Structure 1
Amino acid sequence: MKRMTTWKRTFLLHATWALLWGTPAAAVTPSNVTKVSRVTGATPAGELLPNPNQTHTNHDVHGTDLGIVWDKGGGEVFVLFGDTFGAGWCGNGGCGGGWRSNVLARSSDTNLADGLSFSSMIQDGPRHAKEILASRKVNFDEITVIPTAGVTIGSRHYIHYMSIHHWGEAGMWFTNHAGIAYSDDQGQNWVKHPTARWQNTPAWTNNFQMAAFVRNGGFVYMYATPNGRFGNVHLARVPETALLDINAYRYWDGNGWSVSQAAARPVAIGIAGELSVSYHAPLGRFLMTYLNEHRQAVVMRDAATPTGPWSGEKVLASGAVYPGLYNAFIHPWGNTGNSLYFVMSQWTPYNTFLMRATLAHDAHSDNLLSEPGFETQAATRVMAPWYLQGSGGVDRALGNARSGQDNGFVYASSGWNALKQSVVVQPYTDYTLRGWVRSSTNNTAGYFGARGPGNGPILGEVPFGALGAYTEQVVHFNSGPNALIEVYGGLWADNGVTWMQLDDVSLTRGSNLIHQAGFEQQSTNNATSPWYTEGKAGIDRGLGHARTGTNNAWARNDTGWNAVKQEVAVTPNTQYTLTGWVKTSTNHADGYFGARLLRGGPILNEVRFAQPLGNYTQLSVSFNSGAQHSVEVFAGMWANNGDTWIQVDDLTLTRN
């Protein structure tokens, strides 16, 4: 692009931020989870928790759940609840009289260490919390309207909600649609927008029925799941100013942002229910929490960027300790130091509680697999996220583990037997899978690797035979077109009773952050996600112009700015190096290769190539990401001398 003097000022500012905040934060893991206070309901006999709100007498809220918290501005947060029951509450679960589909509280409490106190609740009469989003309350039509997320932009407040058609078995419900409501009077009255909706399918499979909102970089990111608690997590985003414009949403397709909702691919694999996502600024990590029904636990994932890669699940709170638990809605003011405050529901008391956890450095770093050492597997053969094919289970404190107390195993006298786990990946991206394996002396057909979902094609694997001691197995592979893969360790039991033990498994992404860096997966002459163009540009496919492979990108015109570009997720306050190979026409005189902020924002750094490049020439530029979680990398030229062109191939972006 045309060179600007602002990049120097921007770069210096970002470098200063990096000095102030130090090196980018690494992955974190929760511990020391405690119940701080009761948020709603009456204190039962024997409970010693603080109960600052006394909602049963002050607001006729005897039983309720959820507790979605967001910063509403003006020194307050909103706290939003689901189905709520009054003096006629049945006293066990969500049932009884005084039913309201949802109620809303306000809080200015900044000292969460002693509980979460309300300033007030939105009321429709003295001491009576108001239902803010009406529902028909007709089963198999619209039995209730449940909020799932909230966000405030300027002076307007927004709620994401789901219209429930009917309830199913435990953890299952069926929605008519999801939608957005808004309030312009501090939450007293709300309007369900008529077109800001995601209609469910006849088969109840729309992926955007329950949501969590995060503001970042001028966008609202909307993480979403299908109705119920058993779906994967998908992602969309929209400019803050267009939250009610359904056509302004763009959907993460595994590589970039698509206008097509059908193109959406997961950012995290379920089993996920009642999402909450927040950015923990002091630790520099995005945090995602949800209920994993199969694990009977509220779990946490973390990531450096909104699109991930998201870490494996880490148990935040267990149903064994807190029976009937669900949801963990993060309090935005609780993300201080190494603390995490969240509101959690329990079904049997059907009320909400403020919880606190400590976040510490995760020794597993950016491992994308959940439960890598099998350490929180309960007393069943194998629990999610690991699944068993054939015969096997988990050794618990039997002295067979490589580290910790537990390990996985298979043990059989015939057939294929394996431990496996599904995980979200980025298509056409390099990964490294590692794991430690020990096996019986008669094993001759063991395999450790990765393949497509549902026992799909093998992407990479290593064979192993008899291993008397734990031995590390390493597999390098490319994910190909897959957004989901399976990793596995297993064996064919062809020689009688045969066994394998597996421990300390990890999956990490390769270092190059550019997607489709050589343009080989571009299937048309027009650039497609994750590549975009400005002016006249596109893809040379099989024309013999590539530096390597068969494809390359080009820009060509006789006027104006023409470029290829890609949005790339980065870690804030981090130094990166961008390299690429460029060739130009003989009349070329004004080209630029670099990184800038999104939507044509200030340049972070660039290198100018003013002379013709008759052969592919490597260009390199370093920059600091500053406060950004996404940047735009570009290669382009000003066509000021008639018909001018550049060709681009083999880009890399790596963290220094």
Structure 2
Amino acid sequence: MLDNILSEDDGGTVKKRWKWLLIAVLLAVSTAYAGAAGAVTPTNVTKISRVTGATPSGETIPNPNQTHSNYQVEGTDLGIMWDKGGGEIFVLFGDTFGPGWCGNGGCGSGWRSNVLAKSSDTNLVDGMTFSTMIQDTPGHAKEILNSKKINNDEMTVIPTAGVTVGSRHYIHYMSVNHWGNPGEWFTNYSGIAYSDDNGQTWTKHATAKWQNNASWSSKFQMAAFVKDGGFVYMYATPNGRYGSVYLARVPEAGMLNIGDYRYWDGNGWNTSEATAAPVTIGIAGEMSVIYNTYYNRFIMTYLNPYTEALVMRDAGSPTGPWSGEKILVRGSDYPGMYGSFMHPWSNGGSDLYFVMSEWGPYNTFLMKATLTADSFGNNLISEPGFETQAATTYMAPWYLQGNGGVDRNLGSARTGQDNGFVRYNSGWNALKQSVAVQPYTDYTLKGWVRTSGNNNEGYFGARGPNNGPVLNETRFYSLANYTELTVNFNSGANSVVEVYGGMWANNGDTWIQLDDVSLVRGPNLVGQSGFEQQPSSTPTSPWYKMGNAGIDRNLGFSRTGVNNAWARNTTGWNAMKQEIAVEPNTSYTMTGWVRTSANHNNGYFGAQTLGGGPILNELHMTQAFGYYTQQTVVFNSGNNHSVELFVGTWANNADTWIQIDDLSVVKN
């Protein structure tokens, strides 16, 4: 299809087709060394070295930078890192204090809202050494983004992310209006600053901003950047540490053009920030995201105050589905810890290095974790076996309706030491967890349940958020031994679902125990594959069109259901398209059903890279199909995390049409 577009001017269809196929093959070969995509989990977390501040009495870890004497940085936090090119990384810190620092948290004199270091250290085993820090006078780290320092106006300007595109460096920052209770702060806006002189000076762009609202609830106030496929992906949360994670992306060249950003709405990319749907559910603070080339997984880390831990999630593509949370560092081991900013050069193997802050010493430390295969696989449930549930203030990410909790090391678990339970003599009692999903997508929920002998009305299933409509559930009765329950459901219009296991206690003292819960997405990667949920004749997310195309709604033309898609015209290329998330260097099979006009002789069915890039594979349909006929094509994703599906036709100077229904893409 792309080849025909190119050949309109030069007639080089055959030559260009071979050129694109060769490029696709080379891309696949060049990344063949990468590890298989599979869920990972952190293990063996250790503190390697101090990054900032002076070494206190009794501390034995290395302190290579001596920032207190070399740069008048005695107390600081964060430590956001990214590859700046030229064999160096930037390391970006928040509120910073010099001589006169109070010695307990962020306070004192010599206050700078932010400071910036450089490092070329490739051997992190003994710590991370700075090359230098950006300075305004010799021996004094410079504040690179100024702030008013006026409470309830602009108290400070804190960086939250950084990325380099070409030779220009970008910082995402937040303008803090005032501090609230611990873990709460309120922002005026977030914005992007840039530097063209290797970080010496920075300019806050006048219009690259996300204004907060009167209720302090804008979704894009704190961010993490990661580059992929020509885009910069921006993961974001509201201000403070009490919001879920949302996602936007922008072409690399459009970083400063707010109109070029597109927001993930659960199905596809939308121009409206208001449509953004969460990619993870929970409360996330000080987030970091990188792509690990060894495991072919995106890694996300952040602080979850409810679980009092730094946690990690992973996914095979930027949009997810993201795994459940996995404990990286516990607050009981490192009191007052926050921030888990990953080193960009520790993404090619199983060792994961990150910078962690601690509030009391108000300084930063280099940490190391080892990533290993996750025995729960691509599970969207956090703490599926309840093993990391500590006696914290909250049970998050699980929460209760009625009475229950966690059996800790009581010998009642199916596997491991812990399990969840509910128990009471009346009413509805359940364990629940909310999960981000893609709308109108199939999922499979599994879990193991054991009950008291008098249980006669237990339920295991999924529903809309906040006790919304039940999507599907299975009823269970007395189960003397742990029994696996399975529920298949479609998410419907929901971008968030609530999974639950519970019972009605209507027969005296009744209990159930729950363990080893899993939620996985169905195999078909095509959203709204039968077009049944399309609300109008004009395609909406996740479908989009090229040329003249649309949706037949309840017109009797569908293969199954009541809707189908169509493309029709007298000239040019006309097609239906959808972007889907894939794993790199992986084989997929695309199938669909097509019916055409009698004069049809030049249709295409296949997949290509985004933005009209190389075709990964396609089927050339040169005949007419008087009735729906199944089409199949196998393609390799190459070095891509997203590809574009297309089904369409060239209308050759006569009224030509094609009808499309029931598409699927599954991993081979």
Confirm or deny that 1:127 pairs with 2:139: yes
The letter for the 1-side match of 2:654 is G
Q: Does 1:9 align with 2:11?
A: no
Instruction: Indicate the residue corresponding to 1:113 in structure 2.
Output: 125
Task: Kindly report which structure 2 residues correspond to 1:14-93, keeping only aligned pairs within 5 A, or say none.
Answer: 14-17=27-30, 19-21=32-34, 24-93=36-105
Q: Which residue of 1 aligns with 2:187?
A: 175
TM-score, reference length from structure 1: 0.99
Q: 1:245 and 1:102 mapped to 2: Cα distance?
A: 24
> Contact (CA 8 Å) 1:29, 1:314: kept in 2 or not?
yes
Pairing partner for 1:568 from 580, 592, 601 = 580
Aligned to 2:8: none
Q: Distance in 2 between matches of 1:278 and 1:60?
A: 30
2:79 and 2:360 mapped to 1: Cα distance?
A: 16
Deviation at 1:282, TM superposition (A): 1.1
Residue of structure 2 equivalent to 1:186 = 198
Task: Trace 1:184-333 onto structure 2 (pairs within 5 A).
Answer: 184-333=196-345
1:21 is matched by which residue type in structure 2? A
For 1:623-642, list aligned pairs within 5 A: 623-642=635-654
Q: How does 1:490-505 map to 2 (within 5 A)?
A: 490-505=502-517
CA–CA distance in 1 between the matches of 2:664 and 2:118? Answer: 48
CA RMSD, 1 decimal: 1.0
Amino acid at match of 2:26: L
CA contact (8 A) 2:24 2:614 kept: no
Partner of 2:373 in structure 1?
361
SS in 2 for 1:558: strand
Deviation of 1:12 (Å): 2.9
- Corresponding residue of 1:390: 402
- 2:435 aligned with 1:419: no
What residue number does 2:618 align with? 606
- Map residues 477-488 of structure 1 onto 2, 5 A cutoff: 477-488=489-500
Deviation at 1:381, TM superposition (A): 8.3
Q: Mark the CA change 1:380 to 1:440 in structure 2 (over 3 Å): closer, same or farther.
A: farther
Q: Which residue of 2 aligns with 1:579?
A: 591
Q: What are structure 2's unaligned runs of at least 5 residues? A: 4-16
Residue in 1 aligned with 2:10?
none
Asked if the contact 1:381–1:393 (Cα under 8 Å) also holds between the matched residues in 2, the reply is: no
Judge conservation of contact 2:306–2:392 (CA < 8 Å) in 1.
Answer: no
- What is the aligned counterpart of 2:383 among 357, 371, 378? 371
Match of 1:489 in 2: 501
Q: In structure 1, what residue type is equivalent to 2:547?
A: G
Name the residue aligned to 2:542.
530
| Residues 382 and 394 in structure 1, CA contact (< 8 A), matched pair in contact too | no
The answer to whether residue 469 in structure 2 is matched with residue 448 in structure 1 is no
Distance 1:359 1:576, change over 3 A: same
- For residues 591-633 of structure 1, give each alpha carbon's deviation from its aligned partner in whole angstroms, at most 9, with x where no partner exists: 0000001011110000011011110100000010011000000
2:179 aligned with 1:160: no
Q: 2:117 is aligned with what amino acid?
A: A
Separation in 1, partners of 2:527, 2:30: 28
Q: Corresponding residue for 2:9?
A: none
Report the alpha carbon displacement of residue 283 of structure 1 after superposing the two structures with TM: 1.2
- 1:624 and 1:6 map into 2 onto residues whose CA distance is 17
Cα shift at 1:160:
0.1
Contact kept, 8 Å, 1:382 with 1:388, in 2: the verdict is no
Give 1:11 deviation, angstroms.
Answer: 4.2
Residue 409 of structure 1: aligned partner: 421
Whether the 8 Å contact between 1:590 and 1:637 is mirrored in structure 2 is: yes
Give SS of 2:282's match.
strand
State the secondary structure of the residue aligned to 1:21.
Answer: coil
Query: What secondary structure does 2:69 align onto?
Result: helix
| In 1, Cα distance between equivalents of 2:599 and 2:348 | 56
1:620 to 632, 641, 666: 632
Tell me if structure 1 keeps the 8 A contact 2:97–2:106.
Answer: yes
Distance (Å, rounded) in 2 between the aligned partners of 1:15 and 1:416: 53
Segments of 5+ residues of structure 1 without an aligned counterpart are: none
Partner of 1:553: 565
Instruction: Assess, with a 3 A threshold, how the Cα gap between structure 1 residues 118 and 215 changes in structure 2: closer, same or farther.
Output: same
Contact 1:438 1:500 in 2 (8 A): yes
- Aligned-partner Cα distance in 2 for 1:336–1:606: 33
Q: State the partner residue of 2:152.
A: 140
Q: Tell me if the contact between 1:396 and 1:406 (Cα under 8 Å) persists in the aligned partners.
A: yes
- Counterpart-to-counterpart distance in 1, 2:434 and 2:593: 36
> What is the alpha-carbon distance in structure 1 between the residues aligned to residue 296 and residue 469 of structure 2?
37
- Output the amino acid matched with 2:360: T
The AA in structure 1 aligned to 2:447 is G
CA distance in 1 between counterparts of 2:184 and 2:33 reads: 47
Distance in 2, matches of 1:185 and 1:18, equals: 33
**Quick one: distance in 2 between partners of 1:19 and 1:131?**
44
Q: Secondary structure at the match of 1:426?
A: coil
Where 2:245 maps in the other structure, the secondary structure is strand
1:437 aligns with 2:443: no
C-alpha displacement of 1:213: 0.3
Is the Cα contact below 8 Å between 1:18 and 1:574 reproduced in 2?
A: no
Aligned residues: 655
Contact 2:350 2:370 in 1 (8 A): yes
Q: Give runs of ≥4 in structure 1 deviating > 4 Å.
A: none
Task: Note closer, same or farther for the CA distance 1:84–1:42 as it changes in structure 2 (3 Å cut).
Answer: same
Deviation, structure 1 residue 383: 1.4
Q: Could you report, residue by residue, the CA deviation over 1:59-108 in whole angstroms, capped at 9, with x for unpaired residues? A: 00000000000000011000000000000100000001000000000111
Letter in 1 for 2:120: S
Q: By how many angstroms is 1:641 displaced?
A: 3.9
- AA in 1 matched with 2:29: T
1:164-200, Cα deviation, whole Å (9 max, x unpaired): 0000001000000000000111111110000000000
Q: Identity of paired residues, percent?
A: 69
Q: Is the 8 A contact 1:587 1:641 kept in 2?
A: no
- Cα drift, residue 17 of structure 1: 4.4
Deviation, 1:10, is 3.5
SS of match in other structure, 1:372: coil
C-alpha contact 1:86 1:98 (8 A) present in aligned 2: yes
Q: Which amino acid aligns with 1:166?
A: H
1:507 match: secondary structure? strand
**Take 2:335 and 2:465, find their aligned partners in 1: how far apart are those partners?**
33
Secondary structure of 2:253's counterpart equals: helix
The answer for the alignment partner of 1:471 in structure 2 is: 483
1:215-237 alpha-carbon deviations (Å, 9 max, x no partner):
00000000000000010000000
Q: How far apart are residue 271 of structure 1 and its match?
A: 1.0
Q: Summarize the Cα distance change of 1:31–1:156 in structure 2 as closer, same or farther, 3 Å threshold.
A: same
**Aligned-partner Cα distance in 2 for 1:507–1:570:** 19
Partner deviation per Cα, 1:560-581 (whole Å, 9 max, x = no partner): 1110000010000100000000
Query: Could you tell me which amino acid in structure 1 is paired with residue 96 of structure 2?
Result: T
Letter in 1 for 2:646: F
Q: Secondary structure at the match of 1:6?
A: helix
SS of residue matched to 1:559: strand
SS in 1 for 2:189: strand
Match of 2:115 among 103, 116, 121: 103
CA distance in 1, matches of 2:492, 2:262: 23
The whole-number CA distance in structure 2 between the counterparts of 1:18 and 1:336 is 13
